[in-house]
Structure 1
Amino acid sequence: MIDLMPTSEEEAAGIVRTHAQSGRPLVICGGNTRSGFGNAVAAEDRLRSTGLTGIVAYNPGEMVMTVRSGTPLAEVEAALQESGQMLAFEPMDHGPVMGTSGEPTIGGVFAANVSGPRRLIAGAARDSLLGVRFFNGKGEIIKAGGRVMKNVTGLDLVKLVAGSHGTLGFLTEVTFRVPPRPKTERTVVLSGLNDAEAANAMAAAMALPVEVSGAAHLPLTVTWKFLAGKLPEGEATVLRIEGLPGSVDVRIEKLAAAMSAFATVTRLEQPESHKLWQEIRDVLPYADGTARPVWRVSVAPGTGHQLVAALRLEAAVDAFYDWQGGLVWMRMEAGPEAELVRRYTKALGGGHATLIRASDEARAVTSAFHPEPEAVVMLSRRVKEKFDPAGIFNPGKMG
């Protein structure tokens, strides 16, 4: 595959127009850390954003940043850390679990709507996105949204592009909110709860007026992989508190006291707490160098364990839970079992089961994306036809 890496919007426009005229498909990507996600497509050319880099505008007082899409995520986060700010949605690095090399880019983060543990209170990546510049399938530049938070012009289009996986256009610039970074964080660990008991404990914790910013459950099969095996013995249900030191001290005590009714409670101080949530965010247990299928299943909070319990009656499954049990990371020990996973997801009230990783053979016969209702499919097709009439952008990532 040939990498095409334009260094200007004009160059990118020429590439898109040439491919649109010939009908040749383009794989759209940034740092290539999500290579292999989606369904394989025959394409000779890969259009990458990594030549479009740099921070265009950033005034910490405005809490808004504008960046070219190919800028490495690490560069963005370093600039934000220096000013005491952050990406509230805590984006994961797919590289370890996907087994890919390269650096995540800020454009790729928004194109895939990547969101980590703090999504519970901060929303998804698209909820922080204020504006975009991108090329449609005709090579025309489109600008939507803006730098002012109250400016809702083009808001629907901005949200539409976020999570479209490059199927609607080639992002060249993104503008997003950057709130203050918490001064400190600590984590309460509940030991020895099974999946159902952990779901009840997390629900009780989220109902408390202590502003829990992370709620995850790590069964016995995965706890030893976190913090280099230094978590307390047994299953671990982990709850994070962030903010000013004095406030965190008070809230962590209230949380620990309430949670002591459920299990033995221990605490992690900032360094260990920060590392733990990074490992949860990046799905450390399944960054195992294999192609064993990995699913990302989003369901109603507290119901994830029911899905796993049902699946285990028919398949070998390993799993852990984020977002108060509403996000289930599952590794299948044999095939993807897509029909089974999606059938039980539907039976539990619905959700989205996305196949993140699998062998080439499995991806060739398994849809990576959760099937949508026919009305949504038809609407998506019409939108795709408007933005990319020749159908050249990332055809392997259409649901």
Structure 2
Amino acid sequence: MPSPTTEEELSGIIAGAEGPFRILGGGTRPIGRPVQGTPLSVAGLSGITLYEPGALTMVVRAGTPLDQIEAALWAENQRLPFEPMDHRPLLGTSGTPTIGGVIAGNISGPRRVQAGAARDYMLGVRFVDGAGRILKNGGRVMKNVTGYDLVKLMTGSWGTLGVMTEVSLKVLPRPGAAATLSLTGLDDATAVRAMAAALGSPFDVSGVAHDPAAGETLIRVEGFATSVAYRAGRLSELLAPFGAANVSDDVEGVRARWREIRDVQTMAGQPGDVWRLSVKPSDAPGIVARAGAEQVLYDWGGGLVWLRLAEGTDLRARLGAFGGHATLIRASAETRAAIAPFHPDPAPVAALSEGLRKRFDPKEVLNPRLML
């Protein structure tokens, strides 16, 4: 398996390609159509090349393990704001997640409702396209660019347009305190209304989730201790019509609970396929009722819904027309070959995507058909 250690070496490998490649970082996210091709690892392109805590910026090679990045940030009381999910528990994979895989999938966790997605913190990118060309875009500060915004384009492209070699990121301070408010016994529709009330408040909520199996609706606040205590108290008053809220301000306990939500750990090791729905929150309960899922978890105030269904279930066919996107995250290779894992794009968007693939991967050697 080719595992280049320099950008130039990677460029030469791709330029001389005689067949397709299956791009790998840590190998922890086998999502999308199964790719038939030679494994090409970027794990050798590793290391933090620049970290300026005072400027809230970090430049890091794409194959760098995520835990190495988080350890460096932790030492400076900083963090990746978008709280990337670790797919290993849900998918049953091993290995080590890399920053390149996180950015390639635009992997964002519960804090997205407050902080935004991984894409929003990308400052610059370097990558090798399907012709072997070394391309770069952006830098170490937020700025507008002309032509293709390759920074945004590469984020969420799943290695189909280029193999990332380096990314520049904006980071943020890590809060010292956190609290979770828990409401119990709410049905899905009522829980969505409660979460909407919390998100619509001025109290800077950083997480809103509903776990029907546990009978819990959870709201998270983070920041300075005095601010967290004040906001938790005001949210308790605001949410009183939905029931009495239990408040937990044990920081480690709060972090552990939201890691469970972030990584959908309640579905780990459980039988069946797992789908990820992106929908309008107010539509979510009705769509979930039609889905007939064996297990459900709401995140992002209901804008993100995880569903566990029987193996081989085509959720899109079961739901029919609905406003949103359904992505098949966990299933056998056979199911992922038979059912498109990524939601089909409307014809104009599909045509644009195909044009971009031809522009950046003319030989069709980079994760071909993974997103189709």
TM bucket normalised to smaller: over 0.9
Instruction: State the Cα distance separating 1:152 from its structure 2 match.
Output: 4.1
Instruction: State the Cα distance separating 1:302 from its structure 2 match.
Output: 3.1
Query: 1:371 and 2:344 equivalent?
Result: yes
- Please tell me whether the aligned partners of residues 316 and 326 of structure 2 are also in contact (alpha carbons under 8 angstroms): no
Aligned-pair RMSD on alpha carbons?
1.4
> What's the counterpart of residue 331 of structure 2?
358
> What's the counterpart of residue 282 of structure 1?
263
Select 1:34's aligned residue among 29, 32, 46.
Answer: 29
Query: 1:144 and 2:137 equivalent?
Result: yes
Deviations 1:225-281 (A, max 9, x none): xxxxxxxxxx10000000111111111100112212202311122221111001100
- Shift in CA distance, 176/280, structure 1 to aligned 2, threshold 3 Å: same
> What's the counterpart of residue 314 of structure 2?
337
Instruction: State the Cα distance separating 1:300 from its structure 2 match.
Output: 1.2
Gaps of 5+ in 1: 224-234
* Total equivalences in the alignment: 371
Deviations 1:336-360 (A, max 9, x none): 22333552xx43xx21110001122
- Shift in CA distance, 155/248, structure 1 to aligned 2, threshold 3 Å: farther
1:228-239 matches, within 5 Å, as 235-239=215-219
- Shift in CA distance, 130/27, structure 1 to aligned 2, threshold 3 Å: same
**2:130, 2:244 → 1: CA distance?**
57
Which secondary structure state, in structure 1, belongs to the residue aligned with residue 78 of structure 2? coil
Instruction: State the Cα distance separating 1:333 from its structure 2 match.
Output: 2.5
Which residue type is aligned with residue 359 of structure 1? S
1:88-99 matches, within 5 Å, as 88-99=81-92
- When normalised by structure 1's length, the TM-score is 0.90
> What's the counterpart of residue 230 of structure 2?
250
**1:8, 1:322 → 2: CA distance?**
39
Select 1:177's aligned residue among 170, 177, 198.
Answer: 170
Which residue type is aligned with residue 27 of structure 1? R
Instruction: State the Cα distance separating 1:99 from its structure 2 match.
Output: 1.0
- Please tell me whether the aligned partners of residues 22 and 36 of structure 2 are also in contact (alpha carbons under 8 angstroms): no
Gaps of 5+ in 2: none
> What's the counterpart of residue 220 of structure 2?
240
- Please tell me whether the aligned partners of residues 89 and 123 of structure 1 are also in contact (alpha carbons under 8 angstroms): yes
1:109-188 matches, within 5 Å, as 109-150=102-143, 152=145, 156-188=149-181
Which residue type is aligned with residue 323 of structure 1? W
Instruction: State the Cα distance separating 1:72 from its structure 2 match.
Output: 0.2
Which secondary structure state, in structure 1, belongs to the residue aligned with residue 69 of structure 2? helix
Deviations 1:25-67 (A, max 9, x none): 00112000012x1112322x11111001110111101101000
Instruction: State the Cα distance separating 1:151 from its structure 2 match.
Output: 5.3
**1:154, 1:71 → 2: CA distance?**
29
1:254-269 matches, within 5 Å, as 254-269=234-249
**1:276, 1:129 → 2: CA distance?**
27
> What's the counterpart of residue 231 of structure 1?
none
Instruction: State the Cα distance separating 1:286 from its structure 2 match.
Output: 1.2
> What's the counterpart of residue 20 of structure 2?
25
- Shift in CA distance, 107/212, structure 1 to aligned 2, threshold 3 Å: same
- When normalised by structure 2's length, the TM-score is 0.97
- Please tell me whether the aligned partners of residues 145 and 153 of structure 1 are also in contact (alpha carbons under 8 angstroms): no
Deviations 1:79-120 (A, max 9, x none): 011111111110001111111110000011000000000000
1:11-90 matches, within 5 Å, as 11-19=9-17, 22=18, 24-35=19-30, 37-43=31-37, 45-90=38-83
Query: 1:271 and 2:252 equivalent?
Result: yes
**1:283, 1:82 → 2: CA distance?**
27
Q: How many percent of aligned residue pairs carry the same amino acid?
A: 49
**2:318, 2:342 → 1: CA distance?**
12
> What's the counterpart of residue 208 of structure 1?
201
**1:327, 1:262 → 2: CA distance?**
21
Segment drifting more, 363-372 vs 334-343: 334-343
Segment drifting more, 51-60 vs 280-289: 280-289
**1:53, 1:306 → 2: CA distance?**
45
Which residue type is aligned with residue 25 of structure 1? P
> What's the counterpart of residue 276 of structure 2?
296
- Please tell me whether the aligned partners of residues 342 and 370 of structure 1 are also in contact (alpha carbons under 8 angstroms): no
- Please tell me whether the aligned partners of residues 145 and 155 of structure 1 are also in contact (alpha carbons under 8 angstroms): no
